[in-house]
Structure formats: structure tokens, C-alpha cells
Structure 1
Amino acid sequence: MNKIKQKFLTYENGILLMMFFTWGFVFMERLSVSFLFPFFAPELKLNNAQLGLIASVLGVTWAISGWIFSSTSDLIGSRKKVLVPITFVFSICSFLSGAAKSFVNMLLVRALMGLSEGPVLPIAQAAVTAESSSRRRGFNIGFVQSAASLIGATLTPLIVTVIAMNYSWRTAFYIVGIPGLVMTFILLKYMREPKVKEPALQGQVHTKASWADYRKVFMHRNVWLCVVISAFFMTWLFVFTTFAPTFFVEADHFSAGEMGLIMSAVGLGNFLWTIIIPTISDKLGRKPTLILFSFVAILSPLLLATVHGSLAVMMLISLVTTVGNGVFPLFMVIIPSESLPLGVAATAISLTQLIGELVGGTIAPTLAGIAADQFGLSAPLYIAAAGALVCALVGFGLKETAPIKQRVTTASTETAIQ
């Protein structure tokens, strides 16, 4: 029993749980505004266009700050010195959201929230990467990223709507800010600067980034291919999640409650696949896993656009085929961080996030909306499918980075020499 306890109570597991909850609470606070909009819109006299602006301003500031502050953490050689204060700031922003008196107030607060939340994923995943053993690196990174689906997309709507209905929308924002404050003090007390669990990762150890290392981010083929994949996979994600609910209600004539069940199946599928797919890549390799599941991701919007089945059938399709979120840890975190010195991992991750948010999260939904007005509500789903197809094809250009594949290649080379 003591041996099992000692095996579990490792710092690798500790940093894994700290980053899981930190990232989950980021998405709780990011998505809460959408779920609470019906409650505060009448009081603040807001329309749907203003809701869109509130979401967009957060996305833009998120993308830009993610790159700036993640790069800063690389250049100063510290994850903790950046992560702790920004965790505190985004938590305070939730309280400020609850205190907003007008559209302008809410817009400014959410912009500030985007500035503080943008660097969280790159820095958190860089810390987890450094502390992970090679045999479970994919699982660790996928587990952290799955928090957005479990805490942000699944639990948050249940929590904030109940609080808003029983108390007020302002109280909901205040309560949602508390977990982030708790994590601030946990990180301050227990997080340490990353130390590579193994002697080396791709021949590199975690040190303060040099300018020469920093330039490698912009010169490595894998990084730029992952940037392209990020742009098109975020097109898949944001176009699909933005227009699928409306499609189910208006085109397939499901009730709002039935639509909610289908989207819940999507959320559950996202959570499970975000853990399963990176774990598979630990055994199969990053490149073949990304290509395989990118092709599978094409099916989710295509089938939902063309198969007009019962509620149970649509939920099953959603659960089984919505695998795209499981590919995100591969191109956003694992492949870039394994391709470069660990000291610039956060910069590489934030670069994929930056382009993905700006293209897939900002431009693509607008273009998809125009297409929906011109060609019908199924058009955005076809656009989402096309985004996944591009990702699968671009994936063939990647260079394999999985440790298990690197060891096989090295062993084959040594055998050939002998």
C-alpha cells in the first residue's frame, strides 16, 4: 500500500493535477459569459451582436497575449513567475464581470481577461512536458487539455445557470472567480520551476532560452506545419460548435432540450478523446495518430449535416466521431515541444495558439456565417469538414517526434552500422 501511495504521490502527478484544474478554471471563466448572457443581457440592454463582440475581444486579446507572455516566460526562464500572477488576474476579472454596469464595462473586463488567460495553456503545458516521463507524455498533456471540456463545457453551464436562477448572474460571476483564486495560492505554494524528469528530451534540457533557441521556433518545419494545422483545426472547432446548435434546432427540428443533449454528447466525446488520442500517440507515434484522427474528424460535421436520425442516433454520432479535440494536444503542444529545446516550448505552443485563434476563432466563423446566409445552415458544417481534411493532408509533412519512434529509429541505425 505504501509503495502504491508513494508511486502516486509524485511531483509529476502533482503538476498534472495543478495544471488540469488551472486550465479547467480558465475555461470555466471564459465560457461563463455565454451561459449567463440570457440573464444579464436584459439588465445591461445588450443584443446578440454585442455578445459576439464580447466573445471576440476576449479571443483576440487571448491570442496576442498568449504569444507575448509565453515568450516572456521562455526568455526569463521561469514558468511560475508568469503563471501565478496571471491566474490571480483572470480570477479577479470574473469578479469584475459580475460588477459590470454596462456593455463597455463588460467589454473592457473581458478584454483584460483574455490578456491574462492567453498564456495559461502554453505555460501550463510546457511545465507538464518538462516534468513528464516519455512513456506517458501524451497522456499527461491530453489529460490537462481535457479539463476545458469537462470543467468548462460540461460542468460550467450547470453550475452558473443554477446559481443565476436561484440568486443572480452577478453572484454566479463572483462564485466562478473563487476556484481561480484558490489555484493561485496552490501554485504559489506547491509549483516549482520545471525540471526535466528524464536526462534529456530530444537531446535538450530545460534552461533559460537563448535568442538562438528562440529563433529556432520560426525556422523549424514542424512548428509551421503545426501552425497551419492549428488554423484549420480551429476552423473545424469554432465553425462546428458555433453553428451546429442552430442547425439541430432549425434544420433538423430538434427541441432546444434535445439540442442540448446532442451538444452534451459532443462535450463528453471531446473530453474522452482528448485523453485517449494523445495516449495512443505515445504508442503509435504522433504523426500517424494525427493523420488518422484528422480524417475521422471530417465525419462529425459531415454525418451530422447529412444523417437526419433520431436523438439517440445523433448523440451516438456526436460521441463517436467528434474526435477533433483529441488531436489538439498533438499539434498545439506535443509535436512543437518535442521538436525544439524545452526552453522555448511555451513560445512554440503560443504561436500555434495565436494563429489558430486569429484564423479559426475569429475569421472562419464570420465567413461561415456568410456562407450559411447564402447557401443554408449546412454550409458551415461542410466548411468545418474541409478544415479537418486540410489538417490530415498537411500532417503528412510532419517529422515524427514521439520518443518511442525516436528510439526505434536510433536502434535501427545502430543495427545497420553494426
Structure 2
Amino acid sequence: MLCWLTCLVVLSALFPSYLVDYLHLGMQQMGYVLSAIGFGGTLGTLVMPALSDRLGRKPVMILSVIGAAVFLVLLARTGPNPTMLFTYLMLTLLFVFSMITLTVGPLSAESVPAKLMSTASGVVVGIGEVFGGGVAPVIAGYVAKHFGIQYIMHLGFVALAVGLVVTLCLRETAPLRLRAQPAAVAS
């Protein structure tokens, strides 16, 4: 969770300055580009978790990490083109919100006994918010001040790379996939 929130908070907090100060977009253009956060977030919280019910949590998480990383790199390499910036930001955050939703919800809840589901989600959110939402912006601010605001997305990319390693170690928790596994082994 702290990896996903690091990427989200860095983009949400410092991306407006990146658009205006580094890419020299106007305020209306910046607003248009940033509206992608809402579109991507909505799609990511609806589409990918539903897909994970069928395909499994782990494959969707891996796809989401890779998707977020690819579109974050494309976003970082895009010049002052509002339409492309909107598209890449929306797709990056579609995958980031997908991972946040899956981590806080099904992955946390399905990984512990029923009586600990709420606690597990709370611990995951707490750790993610303190480090990803509290420490990451401080680090991003340091990077922006000392190296240039164009490098803030590197922090999000590093967080995604660490998250990919963790995601590769996940055990499948989707009930539909778990029920299908013994049948696949028997045949």
C-alpha cells in the first residue's frame, strides 16, 4: 500500500507544479490534465477489482503494477501535450487505484481469519498513509528542490518497482481461483 500511495501522492501533490512550472501549461490546461485523476481513479476502482474476481488477485495486481509503470514512464517523457498527458495520467492512475482498491479490500481481508479482516485493512491503510502519504511527499519535495521537479516521477517509479517485487510474492486469495485450483491439479 505504501508503494501505491507513494506513486499516487507524488502525482497528486507535485504534478500540478510540474505541469505549470516545468511544462509551462496554462491553468486551464493543467486543470484538464488533472481531471484524469478522477477518471482513472473511478475506472481503476471499478474495472480491475471486478476483473480480479475472475482472473485472480495476483495476475491483476501484476498487470496493474506493470501498466502503472509503463504509463508513468510515458507520462514522464511526454512534453506539453495536454491530451497525451491526460491519457497517460488517467491510465497510470487507473492501475494505481486498482492496486489500492485490491490491497485495502480483498487482499487484506482474504489473507486473515474473518475476525481480523477489519484490523488487517486498517493496518494496511495506516502504514500506507503514514509512509506513502506522509513521508513520500517530503522525499518528493526534496527531489524537486535539489534535482528538479521533472525527477519526481522517478520516486513513483521506484515505489512501483518495489511494489512489483512484493506483488510477485503474493499468494492468490480470490475465492473463485482458489476453488478452481484443486480441479486443475486433478485433471
**Is 1:283 the counterpart of 2:54 in the alignment?**
yes
Letter in 1 for 2:174: A
Q: Where does structure 2 lack aligned partners over 5 or more consecutive residues?
A: none
The alpha carbon displacement at 1:234 in A equals 1.1
Contact 2:7–2:157 (CA under 8 A) maintained in structure 1: yes
Question: Cα distance, 1:276 vs. partner?
Answer: 0.5
1:266 is matched with which residue: 28, 37, 45? 37
Structure 1 residues 285-364: aligned runs within 5 Å: 285-322=56-93, 323-364=95-136
Structure with higher Rg: it is 1
State the identity %: 30
> Deviations for 1:206-249, whole angstroms, at most 9, x for unmatched residues?
xxxxxxxxxxxxxxxxxxxxxxxx11111111111111111000
Mapping of 1:180-199 within 5 angstroms? none
- The separation in 2 between residues aligned to 1:357 and 1:273, in whole angstroms, is 19
Q: Distance in 2 between matches of 1:385 and 1:308?
A: 18
Q: CA deviation at 1:299?
A: 2.9
Q: Which residue of 135, 141, 157 maps to 1:385?
A: 157
Secondary structure at 2:149 match in 1: coil
Please state if 1:252 is matched with 2:31.
no
Q: What is the aligned partner in structure 1 of residue 14 from structure 2?
A: 243
What TM-score do you get using the length of structure 1 for normalisation?
Answer: 0.43
Q: Counterpart of 1:398?
A: 170
> The residue matched to 1:358 in structure 2 has which SS?
helix
Kindly state the Cα deviation for residue 346 of structure 1 after the two structures are TM-superposed: 0.4
**Cα distance, 1:410 vs. partner?**
2.4
Q: State the one-letter code of the partner of 2:92.
A: T
Give the 3-state SS of the residue equivalent to 2:124 in structure 1. Answer: helix
Shift of 1:390: 1.3
Question: How far has the Cα of 1:300 moved from its partner?
Answer: 3.6
Where 1:378 maps in the other structure, the secondary structure is: helix
1:66-145 matches, cutoff 5 A: none
Q: Does the CA contact (< 8 Å) of 1:243 and 1:381 recur in 2?
A: no
Note the alpha carbon deviations across 1:280-312, whole angstroms, 9 max, x for none: 101110011101111111134322221104222
Q: Structure 1 residue 380: deviation in Å?
A: 1.3
Report the Cα offset of residue 320 of structure 1.
Answer: 2.7
1:254-301 deviations in whole A, cap 9, x for unaligned? 111110110102211111121011011011100111011111111343
Asked whether the 8 Å contact 1:294–1:392 carries over to 2, the reply is: yes
Deviations 1:179-220 (A, max 9, x none): xxxxxxxxxxxxxxxxxxxxxxxxxxxxxxxxxxxxxxxxxx
Q: Is contact 1:291–1:392 with CA below 8 Å preserved after alignment?
A: yes
> Matched residues in 1 for 2:172 and 2:182: separation?
13
RMSD of the TM alignment (CA)?
A: 1.4
> CA contact under 8 A between 2:9 and 2:133: conserved in structure 1?
yes
Shift of 1:400: 0.4
Q: Distance in 1 between matches of 2:8 and 2:92?
A: 13
The structure with higher relative contact order (CA 8 Å, sep 6+) is: 2
Question: How many Å separate the matches in 2 of 1:364 and 1:283?
Answer: 33
Deviations 1:381-407 (A, max 9, x none): 110111112111210111101112111
The structure 1 segments of at least 4 consecutive aligned residues displaced by more than 6 Å after TM superposition are none
8 Å CA contact retained: 2:72, 2:88: no
Distance 1:399 1:262 in 2: 36
1:319 deviation in Å? Answer: 2.3
Structure 1 unmatched runs, 5+: 1-229
TM-score, length of structure 2 as denominator length: 0.94
The alpha-carbon distance between structure 1 residues 245 and 300, as it changes in their structure 2 partners (threshold 3 A), is farther
Aligned residue pair count: 186
Q: Report the AA paired with residue 27 of structure 2.
A: A
CA shift for structure 1 position 314 = 1.5
